[in-house]
Amino acid sequence: MMSIEYKCEEDEQKKKLRELTKSFCGIDKPLKNYVNHVESLNELIRELHVVFSSDYVNIERVNHLMMVYTSNYKDWKKFAKFDRYRYTRNLVDAGNDKFNLMILCWNEGQTSAIHDHADSHCFMKVLKGGLTEVKYLMPNQNNTQISHMEPNLPADIGIYHHPEEEHHNEEQLQEICRTTLYENQVCYINDNLGLHRVENVSNTDVAVSLHLYCPPFDACGIYNKATGKKTKCPVTFWSKFGKREKIPE
């Protein structure tokens, strides 16, 4: 009985959060009259848990906290794991199942596929280096054929191979803008604002970013740029809480 009641409350908070993606566009400047500095990644996590403990999550405060934390290598070095072939996703805090905080590591030239964020809020803060965000208009969903990822299909948010198929109603994705963010800058996106892909365009320097997603998600859509076709694919972690995840056989 208790657990059923608890689950209902939890779903209600997720529903409210998702509704906010229809109106929230991110804030440009930190808020006035709220914590004006966050000392460390641990303090950021503590403050985030306070915000998410309320029934009504103040999404501006989440954005604010991501802005006022100042990147410090000592805080995040144990999560910074790089892979030769693709950017890595490293879980830092599972946010009591209300948010996911993770560190992404990008070697020179690594990029994500064009993707959505599964109806969640997405905040990205650069901790080191520079990352270019390319935004696209969300294609007309009526024209979009959704295919679910087959277990052996080589589709992945980190490495995307376009399946060779005939497409109907196909239309190239329209680029909205591209912006390069540097250390401590924060950007925000949700499905209502569009799709994006992120790239470390540098061929000499690695990049590291901190991402917060709420509610958390374990699958998202990746999109073919030429046709707008969406493929649903799972997202995985390279490490969780500083420990390498088991590699699927």
Ligand X SMILES: N[C@@H](CS(=O)O)C(=O)O
Of 18 and 167, nearer to ligand X (C-beta) is 18
In this structure, are residues 199 and 158 in contact, taking their beta carbons and an 8 Å threshold? no
Task: Count CB neighbours of 48 within 10 A.
Answer: 25
Residues 21, 88, 90, 112: which binds ligand X (CB under 6 A)?
112
Residue 50 CA neighbour count, 13 Å, CB half: 9
We find the least distance from the C-beta atom of residue 20 to ligand X, in angstroms, to be 18
211 marked as binding residue: no
Residues 128, 223, 235, 238: which binds ligand X (CB under 6 A)?
235
Which of residues 112 and 227 has its CB atom nearest to ligand X in the complex?
112
Least distance (Å) between residue 31 CB and ligand X = 24
Q: Does 193 bind ligand X (CB under 6 A)?
A: no
Smallest gap from residue 122 Cβ to ligand X (A): 6
| List 80, 157, 181, 222, residue binding ligand X (CB under 6 A) | 157
**For tokens 């390069």, what's the residue?**
180
Residue 57 as a binder of ligand X (CB under 6 A): the answer is no
With beta carbons less than 8 A apart as the criterion, state whether 21 and 191 touch. Answer: yes
The residue from 14, 211, 225, 230 that contacts ligand X (CB under 6 A) is 211
Q: Does 125 bind ligand X (CB under 6 A)?
A: no
- Cβ-based nearer residue to ligand X, 59 or 122: 122
Phi, psi of 180, rounded to the nearest 5 degrees: -100, 130
Out of 64, 89, 125, 229, the residue judged to bind ligand X by CB under 6 A: 89
- Give me the residues that bind ligand X (CB under 6 A), please: 89, 104, 112, 115, 122, 124, 157, 198, 211, 235
* Binding site per annotation, positions: 115, 117, 196
